[in-house]
Amino acid sequence: MITSGASSSQNLPEELLFIDDATLRRELRQLGDQPGPITDTTRQLYQRRLMRLRNVRGTNIPSMPNLQNISRNHAELSDVIKSHLEFGDWLNHVDTYKSLEKHVFQEFVSPDQSRKWREGKSKTSFTYLLLDSRITQDLPNRSIHLTEAEVWSIFLNAIFYIGKGKHARPFDHLYDAFKTWVGSSTITSKKIKCILDIWNNDHGVICLHVFQNVIPVEAYTREAAMIDAIGMEHLGNCKSGEYYGIAATWSMQQKRKFGRYLLYKALQIFMQEGERQLFPHHL
């Protein structure tokens, strides 16, 4: 006679049947679940919950491009998301980060006129992110079918460049790519190659402006923190950013945590503004 528990186990895919506890917990958290202790009595419950969450995600997410065909290895970023970028308890302390942000940049709000800062004190700078629309797939609109953890992961995986600029600076990257597109120059960087790959796949580049109307050194500091949070190896940036003021004295761990918070704020801006793609014919 087969017990109901054994019968239920037989309905699980072999992959889930032999999944280890650490992987089971990690995948549940990546799909927005908050599992409790995994024991002999709860293990099957969480296995079935993971199967259900996988099925829901497979039903609601539009088909995604084969990431192996994308110039950047987005799959590698998932390893980073499992650690300091993982969607988790730090979100319960957003107000603390908000207070820290205000404190850190207070000296840039009304800069000391006797002190010289890089590129001056004009509040015309901003930070921007370039995103791959093959990854986002109109994320703001389809987010109602996703968990917050999935939205966060997709957003991070879509970012391929972080910069500081003023005026039309972000378009310089697109113009450089366009010159290669029409055959008047050669590919010179990972960033340009990514833009061309996006266009060649009939998708557009998303340019998200964040943290606007600040002096240059504040924009540079925000840029640096977000770059350190994601990691140079996952971006098309040629070099890491530079910190100014209080943030320059922080440890790398503090910088990454602050950058994570700034990326979360950038995600909120993206979700509110919506997704707008830039194609070659827009230049």
Q: Which of 4-18, 55-69, 159-173, 181-195 has the lowest mean pLDDT?
A: 55-69
Q: Where are the domains of the chain?
A: 14-55, 111-282
Name, in order, each residue with C-beta under 8 angstroms of 76's C-beta and a sequence gap of 6 or more.
233, 234
Measured in whole angstroms, the distance separating CA 224 from the mean position of its chain's CA atoms is 15
The mean pLDDT of the chain is 81
Residue 224 contacts residue 231 (beta carbons within 8 Å): no
Which architecture does CATH list for 14-55?
Answer: Orthogonal Bundle (1.10)
Is 6 strand, coil or helix? Answer: helix
Using pLDDT thresholds of 50, 70 and 90, give the confidence band for residue 174. confident
The string of pLDDT tens digits covering residues 218-267 is 999 999 999 999 998 889 888 889 999 899 999 999 999 999 999 999 99
pLDDT for the residue numbered 93: 87
pLDDT over threshold 50, residue 135: yes
By C-alpha distance, which of 107, 115, 124, 127 is closest to 249? 107
